[in-house]
């Protein structure tokens, strides 16, 4: 009679964060280009940052690459120029963008913690976001875009939308630079930065 047989099974699973409080659907997009929720869901695909930069990068996605500078920021189809301008000011201060991120490197799990200042409450808050970004049919982000393979711009825009408890286009209707600050410390014309 034969003895017991041992079978080894190898499983590989992709484990990544999907933030349920900021859903990957029209609910996070909100009103956009006079489209119905159904049209938005059919036209927008949510992609992870690694997949977005894979086509154009030889080195893969990074949270930060080399120097951070205002040229890293590309505004997309969202009229949040007030936020992009604030990020450009932040990028101009050596080390300031890195200080905003509590998560310091790109990670495969896709969870990032960002520290933002809530001016009305005079308190710092930590916002956690996943790295799923709304993209168009061409696979490119429809809102903020990286100029290269850095993720920080995409993640800060998403963190600000979640912080403001708004949809991404809802940022357009905010006087955000008056109410909240991105950064960490000394006032700099509506932008708090500690360097």
Q: Which residues are catalytic?
A: 81
* Joined tokens for residue 8: 């080894």
- Name residue, tokens 């490197």: 105
C-alpha pair distances (Å), 28 with each of 18, 70, 94, 113? 13, 26, 32, 19
Residues 151-174 as b/e (b if ≥16 CB within 10 A, e otherwise) read bbbbbbbbbbbbbbebbbbbbbeb
Side-chain-side CA neighbours of residue 34 (13 Å)? 0
């Amino acid at each position: 009679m034969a003895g017991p047989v041992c079978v080894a099974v190898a499983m590989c699973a992709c484990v990544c964060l999907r933030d349920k409080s900021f859903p990957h659907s029209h609910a996070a997009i909100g009103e956009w280009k006079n489209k119905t929720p159904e049209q938005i869901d059919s036209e927008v695909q949510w992609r992870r940052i690694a997949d977005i930069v894979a086509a154009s990068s030889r080195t893969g996605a990074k949270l930060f690459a080399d120097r951070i500078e205002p040229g890293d920021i590309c505004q997309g189809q969202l009229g949040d120029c007030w936020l992009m301008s604030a990020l450009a000011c932040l990028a101009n201060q050596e080390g300031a963008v890195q200080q905003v991120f509590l998560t310091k490197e790109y990670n495969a799990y896709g969870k990032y913690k960002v520290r933002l200042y809530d001016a009305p409450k005079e308190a710092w808050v930590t916002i956690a976001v996943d790295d799923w970004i709304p993209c168009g049919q061409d696979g490119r982000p429809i809102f903020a875009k990286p100029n290269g393979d850095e993720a920080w711009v995409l993640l800060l825009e998403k963190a600000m939308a979640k912080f403001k408890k708004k949809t991404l286009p809802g940022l357009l209707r905010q006087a955000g630079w008056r109410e909240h600050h991105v950064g960490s410390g000394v006032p700099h014309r509506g932008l708090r930065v500690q360097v």
